[in-house]
Chain A
């Protein structure tokens, strides 16, 4: 399996622009997570899905952030409009059902908003 696949790997955009990050989870995994990593705040869970349904979006910082999972093999995280403080590494991760099953991370999308 190719693992969790994220795109783009790197993005530099101007403040105010829309950013869309994409994720393909590992085939067969029914949990999908979006994390944000910064030096100041560490690894933060933004939102997670189970069987394509959003379960907990309490970590989404504000209305500028939205996430969708239209099917079991694809998810997007969108920021509109983007701000410099959104600069971070965004990780998508997936796991199979049940507590104690390994959560696998993608390689991350490195976002810089200037």
Chain B
């Protein structure tokens, strides 16, 4: 089955700086890669996703990149703000996996004002 590794496990950045989280996956058939943000005591919520036919996708201060050859994808947050402080999870799935998401271990991001 799919295995998703996520790094780093914790990330502390100064407000206004950029944050980058990296994930690798094992199943070459995976073709959908969402990112979820989970604030303390809340549910995970989708913030951005990317499909295997796209190399990069951007939504305001958030961008994701995908390298299918190397089987890794990354989340980039620019101009970080205190409200970006949360745990971020990457995930991967494929049609063969039946829409079953495999999550990375999560990255706890702390944005210091």
Contacts and interface: CB of A to CB of B under 8 A. Distances in A.
A56 B98 contact: yes
Contacts, number: 56
Contacts of B100: 33, 45, 48, 55-56
Interface string A91-114: 100010111111111111000000
A33 B44 CA distance: 13
Nearest to B51: A100
Contact of B32 (A99, A105, A107): A99
Given A42-B105, A99-B93, A100-B49, A50 B98 contact: yes
Contact of B94 (A33, A42, A99): A99
A94 to B, nearest CB: 11
- The main secondary structure of chain A at its interface with chain B is strand
Interface residues of A, number: 23
Interface in A36-65: 42-43, 45, 48, 50, 55-56
Nearest to B46: A102
A42 B43 contact: no
Contacts of B106: 42-43
A98 B94 CA distance: 9
A91 B43 contact: yes
Residue among A42, A99, A107 having the largest count of chain B Cβ atoms under 10 Å: A99
Given A100-B49, A102-B49, A91 B99 contact: no
Interface of A: 31, 33, 42-43, 45, 48, 50, 55-56, 91, 95, 97-108
Interface of B: 31-32, 34, 42-46, 49, 51, 89, 93-95, 97-106
A-B interface, 6 closest residue pairs, ranked by CB to CB distance from nearest: A105-B43, A43-B103, A100-B32, A99-B95, A42-B105, A99-B32
